[in-house]
Structure 1
Amino acid sequence: MASVKLRTRVLAVSAALLLPGTALSACAGTADNSTAADSGGAVTLSLVAYSTPQAAYEALIAAYNKTDAGKNIKFTQSYGASGDQSRAVANGLKADIVAFSLEPDITRLVTAKLVDASWNSDQYKGMVTDSVAVIGTRKGNPKNLKTWDDLTKPGVQVLTPNPFTSGGAKWNILAAYGAKTNKGKEPAAGATYLDALFKNVPVQDNSGRASLQTFTSGKGDAFISYENEALFAQKNGQAVDYTVPDDTILIENPIAVTTNSAHPAEAKAFVEWLHSKDAQKIWADNFYRPVVKDAGGNFPTPSGLFTIGDLGGWSKVNKELFDPGQSVMASIEQKLGISTSAAPSPAASKS
């Protein structure tokens, strides 16, 4: 991979992003969860997704509705923290299509027999978009925060969500952990680093989008997030900077059709269309890295980019880092007095 220097860009976010309780972390579309075609012959599909790609999905659905396959398809949309959304579907929330931040949130539904075990057997391994983890700061980066070590300096406040609700939080942690452990080869060093990092985290929201909103409202000196979230901020008006670390993780976002969908053919057709070049260009326009080659976007490859596979895979890292009873992050959160249950308060703060 070509070496890429640390980069800083001036970004911005709109006032709408700052409003508490906006639709960015809520449900969109109608409440119609009908499993039958309506009187006009239209089919309604329910999309349950993690919080950050809402704007992208709204653009994608609008484009799909202009195609022959999509002209009679309606959608209900629900957005929230990836882990919370996955658990909600497991507990009965209707979904025809599930789109989450990370693979284990799909695996939960495979175990519940709500997603077929072959969901990731296609050429994209079940993924619909990619991204990388970045370090965001205030405009001008007044504290000169560009590296993972910078985030553990005394007096620096860093925002990242709660890893026991947010898929984005897990990616953030794995990016820093992988960088500080030589891709998992020095786990003790990683645990020491994460302990120091989270002493500098004053609040842990339940999703990546909520964490960005907290930062843009004035809290913190830095935030860790998806590259696409930082670029989303740029598009929408709030001035912040961000840096892509040389050593960071490739974020891979999965999608699947549920086994109990009333309209599996239509749901599958939409998921397949999301992998078309036209759709992947819309993803790129919304700052996600396409999984389809030459679909658009101009994204650099960090020189030390690594994957979840380099860290041993999800089963290994979930057990060692994210098990709510006994793991590196459970120990850190317990010392901070923060819940490791599946449903902490929307913004968990250190006592």
Structure 2
Amino acid sequence: MNTTIKVAVAALTGALALTGCSTAAGSDSADTVDLMGYSVLEAANKPVFEDFQNTEEGKDAEFNTSYGASGDQSRAVESGAAADVVHFSLETDVTRLVGDGLVDESWKDTPTKGIATSSVVVFVVRKGNPDDIRTWDDIVEPGVDIITPNPGSSGSARWNILAAWAHITGNGGSEAEAKAYLTKLLDNTIALPSSGRDATTAFTGGNGDVLLSYENEAILAKQGGADVDYIVPPDTLLIENPAAVTKDADPTAEAFLKFLTTPEAQADYAQSGFRPVVDGVDIPEVEGANDPSDPFPTPDKLFTIDDTFGGWDATADKYFGTGEDGDPLGIVTELQQETGKVGEE
């Protein structure tokens, strides 16, 4: 991706803050925006909020925020949690709300097709990469302990698993070979925490040899002082995270949603390790990246959910279906049950 960057530098605080809820207290005159986001956005959103509040549309804005595993956050909104803006890991976590009448079905009718942030799947390893992990084949070698979030709750987990699947089928392998590969990967997995942030916390706490994660989460961990490195494998999957407003959102929330894909906001996200989703974003350097002056190298082969899998509509149930209402189990769900790696809920 070609990017030109001009960044207003913003301080990043709490880089490895624990996932949870935070509330920005507003004045009586403030326009309060309730934002529900997936877990790894917590630190990245702080400079974005500040820059939006420096605009005419956002000068009176305050934010009430809640962060957690993407699927859990979506289900919370479905159950009545307050939300003006949702920013999730997966498209399916937004379309769930479309089906419930909470988000308009036209939410993807934007220049970025509803996408607000992007990244790629990487391997987070111990400092110096003592196990010399470079490729997808390396992580399924005997004795390699893997941590990845639980696909039942985490959007990050689903991107990770699909990247592993694409490593096989995208390079000419059959579905049977992809299942065999995922079985090896799950057999090597020692923990499936409920969210991407919880998985990072487990790994930086000393568990496992390799963490499957977002590139931005790896960069943020390094910015926060974690003693880790990360590897962008030769082939990986492009991660695209959607955002939308709910139907009852006021104009301030709608203005904030539009602001998310401006070069200014994308520059803020880039400083937290996200790859820009629009052109014209200037990034002088990104602290924590393998090469701060060239932070987002193009992998040798970059798979996408649309081109490789036919989009989320064709993918969600096929791989992650839960078998409810008589429907068959998804491929990954079934493999989790077969291997006993069902993860944490």
**Band the TM-score falls in, shorter-chain normalisation:** 0.7 to 0.9
- Partner deviation per Cα, 1:92-142 (whole Å, 9 max, x = no partner): 111000000011110111111111000001110000111100011101111
Partner SS, residue 51 of structure 2: helix
Partner SS, residue 333 of structure 1: helix
Contact 1:136/1:223, CA 8 A, preserved across alignment = yes
The CA distance in 1 between the partners of 2:141 and 2:171, in whole Å, is: 22
User: 1:279 matched to which residue of 2?
Assistant: 265
Q: Identical aligned pairs, as a percentage?
A: 45
Matched, 1:335 2:332: no
Q: 1:25 aligns with which of 10, 19, 31?
A: 19
- Partner deviation per Cα, 1:4-42 (whole Å, 9 max, x = no partner): xxxxxxxxxx9983xxxxx5310011488xxxxx63x21
Matched, 1:76 2:64: yes
Q: 2:297 aligns with which of 300, 305, 308?
A: 300
Task: Report the CA distance between 1:186 and its aligned residue.
Answer: 2.1
User: 2:311 matched to which residue of 1?
Assistant: 313
The CA distance in 1 between the partners of 2:272 and 2:157, in whole Å, is: 21
Matched, 1:245 2:233: yes
Aligned pairs (5 A) from 1:89-100: 89-100=77-88
**328-337 vs 131-140, greater mean Cα deviation:** 328-337
**179-188 vs 45-54, greater mean Cα deviation:** 179-188
Q: 1:178 aligns with which of 166, 170, 174?
A: 166
Q: 2:191 aligns with which of 203, 206, 211?
A: 203
The CA distance in 2 between the partners of 1:160 and 1:290, in whole Å, is: 24
| Counterparts in 2 of 1:16 and 1:243: CA distance versus 1, 3 Å | closer
- Partner deviation per Cα, 1:75-97 (whole Å, 9 max, x = no partner): 10000000000010011111000
The letter for the 2-side match of 1:327 is G
Aligned pairs (5 A) from 1:186-201: 186-201=174-189
The letter for the 2-side match of 1:149 is D
TM-score by length of 2: 0.88
Tell me the matched-pair count: 318
Task: Report the CA distance between 1:283 and its aligned residue.
Answer: 1.0
Unaligned runs of 5+ in 1: 3-13, 18-22, 33-37, 346-351
The CA distance in 2 between the partners of 1:42 and 1:145, in whole Å, is: 50
User: 2:9 matched to which residue of 1?
Assistant: none
Unaligned runs of 5+ in 2: 3-12, 284-293, 324-328
Contact 2:154/2:194, CA 8 A, preserved across alignment = yes
User: 1:127 matched to which residue of 2?
Assistant: 115
Contact 1:177/1:184, CA 8 A, preserved across alignment = no
TM-score by length of 1: 0.86
The CA distance in 2 between the partners of 1:294 and 1:186, in whole Å, is: 40
Aligned pairs (5 A) from 1:26-175: 26-30=20-24, 39=28, 41-175=29-163
